[in-house]
Chain A
Amino acid sequence: MSAFCNQAIELTGLAGDRASSVHRLDPRAKLVGFLGITLVAVSTPLAAWPAWVACALALAAVATVARVGPGVIWRRARLILPPVLFVAVFLPFVRGGESVDVGPLSLSVAGLETLLSVSAKATIGVVGAVLLGATTTFPSVLQALESLRVPRLFTLIAAFTYRYLFVVLEEVQRMRAALASRGYRPRHALQAAAIGRVATALFLRSYARGERVYLAMLARGYSGTMHRLEPLAFRGADAAFLAALAAVLVPVRIVAGLS
């Protein structure tokens, strides 16, 4: 398999101590827990910043118990964070109102505040998602979503995307190799047409594969419903995990919001 696919695999999937108590939690508990942390962070204004500290501490505690190291979190978060922060970085320059001078730059105070608050919220949200991904397999997350009443169509689409992503990536790699081996080195925009043809071929192949997969499903008795092998089990530990998060975050958020 190509290096790109290997890298993609390395950046997804479980990390840390797979037998940790966090890894063993019901995926629904983790989903709701990390969503809760993100919601608290997102609803917090700059003035109530201690709530962000509480969220960050909660995430750090979860990461410690799950033995997901800062290296893993950094490598995965840096894929998602830059595009999120890219927009916010310009705010201090474009916002009006009161301004401060930093060297040759004149920065808007309101813009700086927004930048700070967006950065904090985005970081907490992304790290939460990274930790969910590092402690829960993708199929479990889908199963959790499904049992939390997310429409089945969405979870099925996500499941098939996940399954065939690597198959399609390998096809892309093979087509790129085929182009390169016949001396394809685009020098100007017109030569990019070959990329368009690759995309077309890829689309048609994926479409044909979709048909074949559906036939294979029918052949094994598929009649519209996906049955699950193992039902989820919500145990005491899951309730304790959610209760502990709520006990820390909710009071801090309320008190910090008052002052």
Chain B
Amino acid sequence: MSCAVSARGLAYRYPNGQPALAGVDLQVEHGERLALLGPNGAGKTTLVFHLNGLLVGEGTLEVAGLEVGKDTLHEVRARVGVVFQDPDDQLFMPTVREDVAFGPLNQGLDRAEVGARVEEALATVRMRHALERAPHQLSMGERRRVAIATVLAMHPRLLVLDEPSANLDPRSRRELIDVLASIERTMLVVTHDLPFAAELCERAVILAGGRIVADDACEAILSDAGALARHDLELPAGFDVTLVERRRRPRETTPALAAA
């Protein structure tokens, strides 16, 4: 079976010639939750943009069983759900309902199906009550969750989240972890929030200077103080990674759901 993400020698230069990715090799298995760590300017967001063809670089990239290229763009975007850093960029429709419906409508689904997906996606992120609200009436945490619903409604195979816990107060952050832990999907989480990664992801990679420089179990990466320091990453003072209880994937807790 193919991987959820398979990148080989992925390289990209910005139009001004500055290299952003310098040969990224990365395999992500189906169902895996991977934390993509790295300092600012390491190329994390650039890599995210490649995953659904917003940028196309050199090398080979296969996502959700498809080679990313001009011909597969539409299908790739249906299979990969990207949640952007600023939910105000993601939520551009006048109401939450219309925003969540935007993706499924672009997929050409009929209205009854779209309506059902909107309900389902908002229920997953616990935002069904906000159906008719305007995005600017929501709190930051609520916007973030609705932004996740907008891609969940497209039933992507791979969920990519760019800095999901940024600018959230502790309660919103906790709610976000609960929501993400309940979602059964291959997940790639770009983050600086190491405890967040420890709680959610079983594997972590460090991207620095446009290359993957470390790839291991999340605890192993987070326990390697030297590697973290070399790449401008830091755990909160006194934080003990061995005491973190990782949230189990829903399929581990509900076998019936995995079979369906």
Contact = CB atoms under 8 A, between A and B. Distances in A.
Contact of B111 (A160, A162, A215, A229): A229
Interface string B23-63: 00000000000000000000000000100101000000000
Contacts of B114: 229
A1 to B, nearest CB: 8
A138 to B, nearest CB: 7
Given A163-B135, A167-B136, A216-B84, A221 B106 contact: yes
B95 interface: yes
Given A212-B84, A229-B97, A217 B136 contact: no
Interface residues of A, number: 27
A164 B52 CA distance: 25
Nearest to B136: A166
A160 B88 contact: no
A215 B54 contact: yes
Given A212-B84, A229-B115, A221 B154 contact: yes
B94 A162 contact: yes
Contact of A229 (B54, B101, B154): B101
Given A221-B78, A221-B154, A159 B94 contact: yes
Interface string B57-90: 0000000000000000010011000101010111
Nearest to A218: B54
B98 interface: yes
Nearest to B85: A212
A207 interface: no
Nearest to A138: B94
B90 A216 contact: yes
Contacts of A167: 88, 136
Given A209-B89, A212-B86, A229-B115, A221 B94 contact: no
Contact of A222 (B84, B106, B111): B106
A199 B243 CA distance: 50
A216 B154 contact: no
Interface in A145-171: 159-160, 162-164, 166-167
B93 interface: yes
B89 A212 contact: yes
B74 A220 contact: no
B209 interface: no
B111 A213 contact: no
Interface centre among A166, A220, A228, by most B CB within 10 Å? A220
Nearest to A142: B94
Interface residues of B, number: 34
A220 B154 contact: yes
A212 B84 CA distance: 9
B103 interface: yes
A164 B89 CA distance: 10
Contacts of A193: none
A167 B107 CA distance: 29
**Chain B CB within 10 A, most for which of A162, A212, A229:** A229
A252 to B, nearest CB: 37
B105 interface: yes
B150 interface: yes
Given A218-B54, A221-B74, A213 B106 contact: no
A220 B94 contact: no
B92 interface: yes
B12 interface: no
A139 interface: yes
Contact of A139 (B77, B94, B136): B94
A223 interface: yes
Contacts of A247: none
Interface string B142-157: 0000000011001000
B77 A218 contact: yes
Contacts of A220: 77, 102-103, 106, 150-151, 154
Contacts of A166: 136
Nearest to A212: B89
B164 to A, nearest CB: 15
Given A215-B49, A217-B102, 8 more contacts: A138-B94, A159-B94, A209-B88, A216-B90, A220-B77, A220-B102, A221-B154, A222-B102
23 contacts: A142-B94, A159-B94, A160-B92, A162-B94, A163-B93, A167-B136, A212-B89, A213-B89, A215-B84, A216-B89, A216-B90, A216-B92, A218-B77, A219-B52, A220-B102, A220-B154, A221-B74, A221-B106, A221-B107, A222-B106, A229-B98, A229-B105, A229-B118
Interface of A: 137-139, 142, 159-160, 162-164, 166-167, 209, 212-213, 215-223, 227-230
